[in-house]
Amino acid sequence: MSKSKVAILKTTPATVLKDYHRLMNLADYQKVLSKEKETALKMNISWHFFYPGSSTTPWQIDGVIRAMKKDGYDARRFHACHNRTVVIDAHLGERENKQICVTEAHGLRNIHLYEDEEWIHINEAVGDLAEKFLVLNQVYSKGFFIPKRFIGENILHLPTVKTHIFTTITGAMKNSFGGLLNEKRHWTHPVIHETLVDLLMIQKRIHPGIFAVMDGTFAGDGPGPRCMVPHVKNVILASSDQVAIDAVAAKLMGFDPLHDIKFLRLAHERGLGCGDIGEIEILGDKDVIQEDWHFVGPFNKMTFAGRMQHKIYWGKLKKPLEWSLKTILAPWSYIASVVYHDFLWYPTHLKRIKNILRSDWGRLFHNWENIQIPPDDLKSPGWQEVGTSPAKLKKGSLKLLLRAFRILGTTLKEAPEFSTRKKQKAST
């Protein structure tokens, strides 16, 4: 049996487009993603505001699209794909993170799974595979629904390298979480590691091809996926093995994949991928795997919100509060999250963003709209110039506050506990 392969390259803005093309081919993506099948480019938006390391980067999307075009993929057969959460505004997020700048420039369809897309019951989608789930049958006693359009199409995940307060690290495997579970996926948080394993089993059943391209130009340490300390790491990764690419990312961050990351250990033990670094073939800049970034991880300096979430799902507050998250009272937690993260934490930590925006990648992001490479130019290796003036944040405190209020309103309007009832009333 052949080894799982993970391609790793060091990159710069001047070579990033060329590097993404080389990276994907080192990892044999053309053998995995059929040109005859529809391919979903699954975006990651962990925050609707820009925060380095938190969400799919514009050069990551641009590099992947240009590589696929260069290799003969028809752009009419792949599309951007987004999910939403009750606390993240995906439409705002794709604008603030400049993702939509790229997809529109290339003329890609931009699909939001929660808008006018059909979802089908899991039993209809995967049949008897559902009997093998570790936890999803217990979490959802009546089953759950997944997007019908996913069945039979390839998926290409676009995660970033970062830590996470629930799963220690997050990457390719967790990028399926928002896309495959609808409305009440927060019910799975107490058993999140087992849930990710179940979701990988589902992906292997419904997708003819699964591939991941991970951006570590920015990487996030600390209580992610939002309130992190961002670092410039200049690394990109790719693999058709979702377990292996997450294991390599974990290793770079300073973790032992099989010892420290439960979902990787569970997936490895079940043969869903390889989480053993010694059994993974590293391609490209092989010496990068020897790096240890010494990330402290998400649990060392948790935010107030993170500590409360841990107490609710696994600690002293589980008995008095967790039950409310499965009732019409659940929106209290959505409101608390938006108030803490958008009203309090983000405006008081803008210095972190300002500091990292002085880097080459930060200047590329800041100046993106003015220096975008024409979409039909498939030869440019990257950006020789990323802007001469220091990048500055233009958001004032009042503007941030107004946006936070709008997000709070959207959170309440789209809360599944309320929207489901409205749909039920409308159908009677």
**Would you list the DSSP string of 240-255?**
S-HHHHHHHHHHHHT-
Distance CA 399, CA 396 (A): 5
- DSSP code, position 367: T
Which residues touch 413 (CB under 8 Å, ≥6 apart)? 419
Pairing of strands 168-170, 160-164: antiparallel
pLDDT of residue 415: 66
Indicate the helix (H) or strand (E) that contains 111: strand 109-112
Contact present, 240 and 157 (Cβ < 8 Å): no
In the block, residue with structure tokens 């290796």: 381
- Is residue 397 predicted with pLDDT exceeding 90? no
Contact present, 198 and 133 (Cβ < 8 Å): yes
Contact present, 198 and 136 (Cβ < 8 Å): yes
Per-residue pLDDT of 148-167, as tens digits, reads 999 999 999 999 999 999 99
Which residues touch 146 (CB under 8 Å, ≥6 apart)? 119, 120, 122, 125, 180, 181, 182, 202, 206
Per-residue pLDDT of 51-107, as tens digits, reads 999 999 999 999 999 999 999 999 999 999 999 887 888 999 999 999 999 999 999
Reference 360, options 385, 332, 340; nearest CA is: 385
Per-residue pLDDT of 211-253, as tens digits, reads 999 999 999 999 999 999 999 999 999 999 999 999 999 999 9
Query: Dihedral of CA 321/323/328/330: which sign?
Result: positive
**Predicted structure pTM score:** 0.94
Distance CA 96, CA 91 (A): 9
Q: Which residues are registered as beta bridge partners of 254?
A: none
Q: Which CATH class is domain 4-302?
A: alpha beta
Contact present, 244 and 274 (Cβ < 8 Å): yes
Tokens of 193: 């590691």
- Is residue 421 predicted with pLDDT exceeding 50? no
Q: How confident is the model at residue 393 (pLDDT cuts 50, 70, 90)?
A: low
Sequence spans of domains, the chain: 4-302
Per-residue pLDDT of 185-213, as tens digits, reads 889 999 999 999 999 999 999 999 999 99
Q: How confident is the model at residue 396 (pLDDT cuts 50, 70, 90)?
A: low
> Which residue type does 107 have?
G
In the block, residue with structure tokens 């979430």: 309
Query: Dihedral of CA 149/153/158/163: which sign?
Result: positive
pLDDT of residue 389: 59
- Is residue 425 predicted with pLDDT exceeding 50? no
Q: Locate all alpha helices (DSSP H) within 156-281, ordered by sequence.
A: 177-180, 192-206, 242-253, 257-260, 262-269
Distance CA 169, CA 228 (A): 12
- DSSP code, position 83: -
